[in-house]
Structure 1
Amino acid sequence: MIGHAGAVAAFMEAFGEGRPHHAWLLAGQKGLGKARFAEAAAIWLLAGAPAGPDFAVPDDCEAARLMAAGSHLDFRRLERTLAKTGKLRSEIVIGQVVRRQESEGQPLREFLTGTPMLGQRRVVIVDAADDMNRNTANALLKNLEEPSDDTVFLLVSHTPGRLLPTIRSRCRTLRFSRLSDHDVEQVLAGADLEGEDIGLLVAMAGGCPGRALALAAAGITALEYDLAGLAGQPVERAGPAALALARSVAGKGGEGRYAALLDRAPAVIAQRAQRLAGAARADAIATWEAASRLAREAVPMQLDPAQVAYALGMHLAAVPA
């Protein structure tokens, strides 16, 4: 748990006192490692909360093995599931908490009946609690209001202000802060990022290693080179380069690259504008405003990714290198 030693210590200390809180709100910006913390804490709890640093469990720990296999009988994760259409739902639905016709598998309320089957505790992770609709949140609230001594809830939240006040009041909050660049680099060192510019990823992470990993998955290093090559190009060269950029996001598997492009293209234009002066700077700022508006509206307005990518490429070409 790189960079979150304080949160780990506070959590472990609470359970060492003998009367820990039954529900925990893991709050902080997306990409900080809250879900990873919840997973490690769940394994530690299901293993009997052994003494040791940083959620350490024995090498032959049955809880860790069953969790890795996704078959621990005392663990449940609430998250968005696939709908009958095969697409990921936009929210956590009430059927996952209370039996409904559309519910897939055992609902949470049924899971919480009786006693734990393999150990002293059950653990429920909600990732992310922000994804619950109001009906689901109210259904979960009933479980939080009537806690049992053998169940621990871990609610991951990127925007806790969106949760019901009654849910927040039932939880003890652990706040997660941005990591230092050194800590982000340590996290990335443990990932398979061959061919990626680690320095670039650290600079773009903004203290959120999850963001850096997502950008790496989108091929951000190659994208940065493409964007840098477009800046200041004459129209006869910019057109083919922008078309190649458009094709790279339009194909299968281009969603991540497209999301990274929407984020990075306006940022690159802004960086270029800062180096200019006078009329050139004013023109670059106007170009940045147009690119930012296009990137902001692309997804909500369901604009064609290839056309958006081409337009952003031409905006980049309009800014002097």
Structure 2
Amino acid sequence: MDNILLNLLIGVPLITIAFIFLGLLYHGIDRKISARMQWREGPPIVQPFYDVRKLLTKKNLVPENAVTWIFNSAPIIAIVASILAVLYIPIGSMNPVLEGYGDLIIVVYLLAAPPLAMAIGGFASGAPFASLGSQREITVMMSYELPLAIVVATVAYIVGGETAFSLATIADANIWSLVGPIGIVGLILLLAVMIVVSPAKLAKVPFDISKAKTEVSGGTLSEYSGRNLALFYIADGVKTVAIIALLVAIFFPWNLSPILGVTGAIAIAVDFVFFLIKVLILMAIIVTFVRTAFARIKIDQFSRNFIGLVSTLALLGLILVMVGA
């Protein structure tokens, strides 16, 4: 009991600080890579840190027609949920701080909380653009949650047993080794589904429908400023790392330490650095490349394609995995 309490007292603050730092750092790297892809210089990598510092010094404005306590609570819920999600995800060869049964289900729910909080905050602002953005956010969530749920159910089916939903168990099991050739094809389809769902869940271009500045003036965030906007900005960074880290834990769980033959603290450090590299590479492919290469799609196109095509691919992947398991 004492060891568990000590682990929480040390692990929770360390992971929280580390992932807030990583979330902002990866934001800066994302912007720099995107700028280079467009033959621009782009802002410095540390620009997100400057942005947050400036926002924290600004006055926190609340619209006159807003439901104040809901409006101010939404960014707090977003950042707390994002940080809690990270605490359930294995990092390199380290088990999650909040390891336990049902980890994957809890993470899925926690990652749904930030966009939901953003939508509620938009409605609570009483502003037309924010309300319209919130309506779009809810519609988008209803579209991408179905294929995500199919992927989660398929992964649990592959692992099986009492700890089928434990992310630590999933990472240790390596789902690629638990299926045959047909099942591997199914897993490739599920990976493709997650690659499409991830930027949609992060509301990045071409799926930033709820925050489209050229259409709804920032949508859900149009009335936020100061500390509240800073909290949403930090939550977005942490959520980005959390979603990519979840993808790594499920589909790319391999570590370098067994290959290099190192153990102890050196193995933990090596695997942690390798984990950061995997997250960075996936972020560059899934988030940076996609948002730089594609233009925003319409909300009807989004719903039609995700409920239809993407969900169909997820179901096909599930069927292939069941056949090839």
TM range, normalised to the smaller chain? under 0.3
**Which protein is richer in helix relative to its size?**
2
Q: Which has the higher contact order (CA 8 A, sep 6+)?
A: 2
TM score, norm. by length of structure 2 = 0.23
Q: Which has the higher strand share?
A: 1
TM-score (structure 1 length as normaliser): 0.23
